[in-house]
A and B are shown apart, each in its own frame.
Chain A
Amino acid sequence: MSEQKPSVPSRWALWLPLVLFGAFVALVLYGLQRPAEREVRSAMIGKPLPQFVLRAAVDDRPGLSFADMADGKPKLLNIFASWCIPCAVEAPQLAQLRAQGIDVVGVAIRDKPDDLKAFLQRHGNPFSRIGADDVSAIQFAVGSSGVPESFVIDGKGTIRYQHIGEIRADQVEMIVQKVREAGQ
């Protein structure tokens, strides 16, 4: 067997690690430069809601359509599901918003009436209307990627603000503010 010389790198190869490292630094610098865009922003902000009609998801609340959203009053559109744990965590905050006079409407994603009824009994029902979105059609149409998500809609049915994830206790005031702004 032949004797081998280990590692006989040419001169330029010795600079390769530095070059690779330079590329890494450039990459993460690029990533750090745009921290504001790290939140997924809905491309729908400032645009009207799509035309839609959703059947009522539970017996004691009417369903939801575009016409209900463009009735002149600002609303908070909450996309939720009974199978979603953060939605349960969010429930007290939605109740608070309701108590402060915010009109909260819901879209239940891929839900069963029985599950939904149980969820609302357990965690309270802050919604004035609940539409059932069985195929996530509306969810995709408004640029939402998961549950829960909330949208502030002005009186003309235009999306003013998108909130990804559950509304936490310290964010209630901010949401109230956003809805008030949408009403002006």
Chain B
Amino acid sequence: MIATLGLAALWLAAALAMLQLVGGALALRANGNPLVAALRPVAMIQGMLASLAMLCLIVLFCQTDLSVALVATNSHSAKPLLYKFAGSWGNHEGSMLLWVAVMAAAGGVVAWVERRLPERTILATLGAQAFVSLGFYAFLLFASNPFTRLDPAAPEGQGLNPLLQDPGLAFHPPTLYIGYVGLSVAFSFAVGALLTREVSPTFARAMRPWVLGAWIFLTLGILFGSYWAYYELGWGGWWFWDPVENASLMPWLAATALLHSVSVLAARNALRAWTVMLGVVAFSMSMVGTFLVRSGILVSVHAFAVDPTRGQFILALLAINIGAALAVFGLRAASVTEGERFALTSREGALVFNNVMLTGALGIVLIGTLYPLIAETVGARVSVGPPYFNPATAIFVLPMLVVMAFGPLLRWRRDSMKRISPLLLVPATLALCGLAFGIWRGIGVLPLLGLALACGLVVASVMPLWGRKLRTVKLPLWGMVTAHLGVALALGGMASDSAFTKEKLVAARPGETIVVGPWSLQFAKVQPIAGPNWTAIEATLEAGYDGGKPITLKPQARAFWSPPQGTNESALATRWNGQLYAVLGEQAEDGRWQLRLWWKPFITLIWLGGMLVALGGLLALFGRVASDLRRLIAVDKIAYRRRRQGP
């Protein structure tokens, strides 16, 4: 019953998307068509129906309705409710449905609230949005229907990958997806504006909240993903330059560039064609990322089943959507009139530098990710890892961060370095101190530069508040300062982790004491314990920092029974100045246990800084949306008064 309802809602939503596409196309030609007038309600209802379909799938998973094939293959009646719930998008079909639902809902919200832009542009935007989502509806309905039934129903489900049974990961994919799909709105805005040649500051202001929102979700998604990889994989690393990670990093880099260029367009009416291009690129990177992950084209040689038809379908969608958008760009961008001029030393100049460097870093990551595929065309098998990615991205990112230190202090249009150089005295001194400290400790070149920059940036990032009355500072400025401070902290965490981490791999018997960095660990005991759907061997370690009061750590080696699989649950002790990380390994024949221990000074700054970056985005978003709402209400009031006064 619920499955039928979900499928019906999905078909209806697809039909409405078709209607929306036709209406959007008609809007470009003539006004007064009844279909054009109905476009906004159509988009809103489409959003509701697609959301309803997703809701139905969630209910099916929570009830463990085993007459639905997707539930039977991906869930289990004994699974904790949270993971039943999260399981609804923890598989291919469900995640695609989530994608479509968020995308349709976002289109509905645009149709509902966006009033500033010329009506033609909005309708073209909704048409573009329908164009993109129609492909995904076709994909869902014809190639990966989440509501396919089983007759007779399965007696029991086949479980969920135990690696995915983790609260962090349960909410990681939807967070990223909301980010990806938010960028689809920016994409549709860009295409709509190109079609009607209405690239203006108003357009930038209409697009900005969507870019900001998507960017916040992408930031959070990447943070969750990185922290999950850090404590779940048990390798002590937090970023592996894995194709799947790169797939989420590339849209983030493009969105970060877009976020900055859209501000230039909104404030100064410059960088017009470039902003539109980035709008197209940001969502394209989301689709490319989804394609790379879902098609399995980049997996390692020991990987399991790859579904080529699925990959071909997404590739076709990608080719049609992005190809069409880039063709429109080629046809129309020349007629997007030139923006305002500015001097090289100006806020715009710094932001252009930021954009060029971010785009460069994006190119580096894209090439590195695709390189194994390129090499394969000439018959070579290679994998690309940190030795390439770390220095190559640093070439672009480090200069960009230097400019980030003083760019926000520059005035719009034209400025001189002489005016702001006194302000830079303190940050520069701190950076030199960081450099000296790093050289004294003899750390590598990249961590050294990172550490020095981080020291300078911590102060430089709050300099834009210098000489202002803090109570009158607007939210978007607070947002920028917070986000930049977050970047400085995260950079410091990364540098500290790679420079000062202490690692120890030992085989120990219960009763022994192990020393790693300032920690001394008493290996108390090993015992078996049982969880809801797993059993585990658990070690108890009493960890004392510098002779202080001991903290108990309990790393586990877990075995799941549905499906049978083992995982390592690492144990962490967090202090203000870093984390102790413990992993329990195999038992050797002589009764000793393998223990892997790391002391990672200040590593938590990576995620703390990342959270600050996201918080900065949130502050800016609140500031922008609040002022937009105030304007919207004022406009409505005037319209209402006019209507009451009569003609």
Contact = CB atoms under 8 A, between A and B. Distances in A.
B370 A24 contact: yes
Given A21-B326, A38-B306, A6 B319 contact: no
Q: Among the interface residues A6, A38, A122, A164, which one has the most CB atoms of the partner chain B within 10 A? A: A6
Contacts of B377: 27, 30
Given A4-B344, A14-B333, A118-B588, A31 B297 contact: yes
Given A5-B341, A7-B271, A28 B291 contact: yes
Nearest to B366: A24
A11 B335 CA distance: 10
Contacts of A15: 330
Contacts, number: 107
Contact of A164 (B281, B301, B318, B416): B301
A142 B163 CA distance: 34
A165 interface: yes
Interface string B566-589: 100000000000000000001011
B308 A32 contact: yes
For chain B, give the interface size range.
35 or more
A1 B414 contact: yes
A57 B326 CA distance: 63
A6 B329 contact: no
Tell me if A's interface is mostly helix, strand, loop or mixed. helix
Interface residues of A, number: 41
Given A5-B341, A7-B273, A21-B322, A27 B370 contact: yes
B282 to A, nearest CB: 13
B274 interface: yes
B312 interface: yes
A51 interface: no
Interface in B44-63: none
A95 to B, nearest CB: 15
Contacts of A117: 589
A1 B345 contact: yes
A158 B326 CA distance: 54
A146 interface: yes
A31 B288 CA distance: 14
A39 interface: yes
Nearest to B291: A28
Contacts of A118: 588-590
Contacts of A101: none
Nearest to A20: B326
Contact of B589 (A1, A30, A121): A121
B343 A2 contact: yes
Given A17-B326, A21-B284, A38-B306, A4 B315 contact: no
A60 interface: no
Given A21-B284, A118-B589, A14 B297 contact: no
Interface string A107-141: 00000000001110110000000000000000000
B295 A32 contact: yes
A18 B343 CA distance: 30
A3 B377 CA distance: 46
B338 interface: yes
A129 to B, nearest CB: 22
B330 A14 contact: yes
A40 B302 CA distance: 8
Q: Among the interface residues A8, A24, A25, A30, which one has the most CB atoms of the partner chain B within 10 A? A: A24
B329 A14 contact: yes
B376 interface: yes
Contacts of B432: none
B589 to A, nearest CB: 3
B36 to A, nearest CB: 30
Given A31-B297, A32-B312, A122-B589, A6 B274 contact: yes
A67 interface: no
Nearest to B330: A15
Contacts of B345: 1
B80 interface: no
B331 to A, nearest CB: 8
A1 B343 contact: yes
B288 A24 contact: yes
Interface of B: 270-274, 277, 280-281, 284, 288, 291, 295, 297, 299, 301-303, 306, 308, 311-312, 315, 318-319, 322-323, 326-327, 329-330, 333-334, 338-339, 341-345, 348, 352, 370, 373-374, 376-377, 381, 414, 416, 564, 566, 586, 588-590
Interface of A: 1-9, 11, 14-15, 17-18, 21-22, 24-25, 27-32, 35, 38-40, 85, 88-89, 117-119, 121-122, 145-146, 164-165, 169
Q: Which 3 A-B pairs have the closest CB atoms?
A: A118-B589, A18-B326, A35-B308
18 contacts: A1-B344, A1-B414, A3-B343, A4-B344, A6-B270, A7-B272, A14-B330, A17-B330, A18-B330, A21-B326, A31-B297, A32-B295, A32-B311, A39-B301, A40-B301, A117-B589, A118-B588, A118-B589
Given A9-B273, A17-B330, A39-B301, 6 more contacts: A5-B341, A18-B327, A21-B322, A27-B374, A32-B315, A118-B588
